[in-house]
Amino acid sequence: MKRRTLLKSLPMLAVLPLISACSRQVIGEAVSPIVALNKPHKEWRELVSPRAYQILFEEATERPESSNLVYEEREGTFICAACYLPLFESAHKYESWTGWPSFTQPVAGHIATKRDFKMIWPRTEYHCVRCEGHQGHVFSDGPPPRGERWCNNGIALQFVLKEEELPALRG
Ligand SMILES: [Zn+2]
């Protein structure tokens, strides 16, 4: 890659300043403290679908347009498909045209990020703070004011309509 091309592409690759300093960071502060489950990943195998297991606990990524949640526009809450912790609100969902459900911010204190070096350029992976299930990657090309794009695997989430009760957390 030419140096000039490299420099031009750097702003696109720049990750959020808040996650650059250390490897794991909880985003925001939870309304009530979340107790991490520390449950061995393999114990989730019986509780989630095989595909969800691959995404949540083997860090796979679904193909774009794999999930109906890409098109979910109703009011409600997106919860972790493993432990049911609320991770995103519909108010923060937006159409990113990527084929993955995308959000401008997570529920405060319910998501933690860490650096992912699987590709040439480091990316920022994020996961549920309670069960450590992998959810997606966060990028800095989202809409204002925060400029964040939380790009989530739809299969790693479940949607609960606003008028329905959230399920009890499981673990
Ligand atoms: Zn979870």
Give the CATH number for residue 33. 2.170.150.20
Which member of 80, 83, 131, 151 is catalytic? Answer: 151
Q: Which structure tokens are listed for 133?
A: 């299930």
What are residue 17's phi and psi, to 5 degrees?
Answer: -60, -30
Gyration radius (Cα) of the chain, Å:
16
Query: Ligand 1: distance of its center to the CA of 123 in Å?
Result: 21
Q: Tell whether 139 is covered by a domain.
A: yes
The pLDDT score that the predictor gives to residue 4 is: 52
Q: Residue 17: which H helix or E strand, with range?
A: helix 17-20
In sequence order, which residues have a C-beta less than 8 Å from that of residue 146 and are 6 or more positions away? 104, 105
Active site residue 151: yes
Backbone φ and ψ for 162, nearest 5 degrees, come out as: -55, -40
Range of the domain at 144: 21-161
In a domain, 11, yes or no: no
Give the Å distance between the CA of 110 and the centre of ligand 1. Answer: 9
CA separation for the pair 69, 65 (Å, rounded): 9
CA of 5 to the centre of ligand 1 (A): 39
Ligand 1 center to 132 CA (angstroms)? 6
* Helix, strand, or coil (residue 134): strand
Q: What is the mean pLDDT of each run of 10 residues along the chain (171 residues)?
A: 49 46 82 93 95 96 95 97 98 97 98 85 93 96 96 98 98 88
Residue 39 in any domain: the answer is yes
Q: Provide the domain count of the chain.
A: 1
Rounded Cα gap, residues 7 and 82, in angstroms:
40
Q: Domain for residue 98, yes or no?
A: yes
Full-model pTM: 0.85
Domain-located, residue 2: no
